[in-house]
Amino acid sequence: TPDNCIEELERVIREALRQSMPAYIVISQAHGVMPVIGTPVQGIPLAGLKRQRSDAAELEAAVATILAKLGAAERPAALVTALTARYGVAGKAAELVSRANLPTAQTPYDKGVLDESMPQYLGLYSAAASQPPSVREAIEQADVILDIGGVLLTELNTGFWGSALDTGRAVCIHETWVRSGEKVFLNVAIEDVLDALIAAVAPRTAPVERDDPGLLELTGSGDDPTSSVNFYPRLQRRLKAGDTLVIETGTCMFHLNGMRLPAGVHAEGQGLWGSIGWGTPAALGVAMAKTEGRTWLVTGDGSHQLTLNELAVMGRYGVTPVIFVLNNGLYGVEDVISERGHGYDDLAPVRYHLLPEAMGCKDWLSLRVSTVAELDAALDAIDAHGGAAYVEVMIPGEESQPLPDEVIDRGYKVQTPGVG
């Protein structure tokens, strides 16, 4: 109401900041045009506010416990999660890992939060799907796992529930609490915990042993048809520091999760809910928010069809993403779940490269490629163009093959359990 709107708006903004969550303010049409009663608050920029305060005794005890665990560990490791970015402490998490010299990995949902060029970065942990494979042993055989932010043990993060991760060996730093074994410390802000650890942690002297996969191998040339095998190595070589890669849910996600990002490149993905169609509007949001670097989106045609109307919004606001639509003519991620050949997974044929013009996207570079030579030329044209680009890349539908029966059963419980 006009009488309490100042107080209520301040309360909602305060809670949104404290909880790092979206906040919704609903005002009736009648009240929306009424004058405000009261004196506006003379506030300070949100960036200058502390989200929450820690209990001093709990904080001291939590930090001492973590330091003792790390100090006694022979094979420690760390997992840094996407929630550190949501809480605004990803930089502090990276500083702690670097200062402590901890072997570090991320799950698929967390990809891109850490700079993957840092010497402590091992790769992607996802049980049997870990990339490179040596990451699995480093994490699962660690005697102490420092979980910074809270690992999400979902099917896509655990290789369809194939993880042997012993959470009893984990020391978990959550947003407002810390758990170590049966000890729980409450009212401790994650930023305060990280600051204290950075100031006090002793670095490991042993070098971090890791397999560096380097760049994906370039394959194909000339009139060879485009495929996942020759697309992703070329994409990897075009990413630059400051860029953000938006990874759509689908078969492209499995390829991109294992691709090592160049220094200074970040990524956004949707490995939590696995919501196909998320990538296109997410790329819009990322592109609008970025102040430097390019926004790259890789999406399958099935996912893109669900939300391609957002291209019109991109055109309206003049954002300049680089979009690759991988056209295999079907809902590829659905075909890997079970046997192929379901007619309902076939897509209506769309001439995607014509969409930007139809959607009012001015001065966009729009191309369709089906050979390696055309793909190379398109990538060169994107660099030269400098603005928004939209490339339809033809991918063989035969690439999407069903997962092994044991993986499908582990993820979706399609087999009748045995007796006993």
Per-position pLDDT tens, the chain of length 420: 889 989 999 899 989 988 888 899 888 888 888 999 988 888 788 777 888 899 999 999 999 999 999 999 999 999 999 999 999 999 999 999 999 999 999 999 999 999 999 999 999 999 888 999 999 999 999 999 999 999 988 888 887 777 777 878 999 999 999 999 999 999 999 999 999 999 999 999 999 998 888 899 999 999 999 999 999 999 999 999 999 999 998 888 888 988 999 999 999 998 788 889 999 999 999 999 999 999 999 999 999 999 999 999 999 999 999 999 999 998 877 777 766 677 888 899 999 999 999 999 999 999 999 999 999 999 999 999 999 999 999 999 887 766 677 777 776 677 777 765
Evaluate whether residue 412 is within a structural domain.
no
Beta strands in 270-384 (DSSP E): 295-300, 322-327, 365-369
Query: Same domain, yes or no, for 261 and 358?
Result: yes
Query: Same domain, yes or no, for 133 and 256?
Result: no
What is the sign of the dihedral through the CA atoms of 173, 269, 236 and 264? negative
Cα dist from 107 to 126, 131, 143, 183, whole Å: 6, 10, 19, 25
Query: Same domain, yes or no, for 61 and 38?
Result: no
Query: Same domain, yes or no, for 241 and 369?
Result: yes
Query: Same domain, yes or no, for 258 and 160?
Result: no
CATH code of 283's domain: 3.40.50.970
Query: How far apart, in whole angstroms, are the C-alpha atoms of residue 285 and residue 270?
Result: 14
Query: Same domain, yes or no, for 11 and 83?
Result: no
Query: Same domain, yes or no, for 373 and 238?
Result: yes
Query: How far apart, in whole angstroms, are the C-alpha atoms of residue 278 and residue 273?
Result: 10
Evaluate whether residue 209 is within a structural domain.
no
pLDDT of residue 412: 67
Query: Same domain, yes or no, for 250 and 389?
Result: yes
Last residue of a domain, one of 200, 216, 242: 200
Query: How far apart, in whole angstroms, are the C-alpha atoms of residue 179 and residue 201?
Result: 18
pLDDT of residue 333: 75
What is the number of domains present in the chain?
A: 3
Domain containing residue 20: 5-48
Contact status, residue 230 vs residue 395, Cβ threshold 8 Å: no
- b/e per residue, 197-214, with b = 16+ CB within 10 A? bbeebeebeeebebeeee
CATH code of 182's domain: 3.40.50.1220
pLDDT of residue 214: 87
Query: Same domain, yes or no, for 267 and 154?
Result: no
Cα dist from 3 to 25, 167, 249, whole Å: 16, 51, 46
Closest residue by Cα to residue 58 from 188, 182, 199: 188
Evaluate whether residue 18 is within a structural domain.
yes
Q: What is the pTM of this model?
A: 0.89
Evaluate whether residue 407 is within a structural domain.
no
pLDDT of residue 340: 64
pLDDT of residue 185: 98
Closest residue by Cα to residue 19 from 197, 189, 269, 192: 189
Evaluate whether residue 222 is within a structural domain.
no
Cα dist from 225 to 24, 106, 418, whole Å: 48, 33, 46
pLDDT of residue 304: 96
pLDDT of residue 398: 81
Contact status, residue 311 vs residue 361, Cβ threshold 8 Å: yes
Evaluate whether residue 312 is within a structural domain.
yes
Query: Same domain, yes or no, for 32 and 61?
Result: no
Last residue of a domain, one of 185, 200, 215: 200
Query: Same domain, yes or no, for 15 and 127?
Result: no
Evaluate whether residue 207 is within a structural domain.
no
Query: Same domain, yes or no, for 390 and 317?
Result: yes
Evaluate whether residue 211 is within a structural domain.
no
Closest residue by Cα to residue 92 from 195, 21, 14, 221: 195
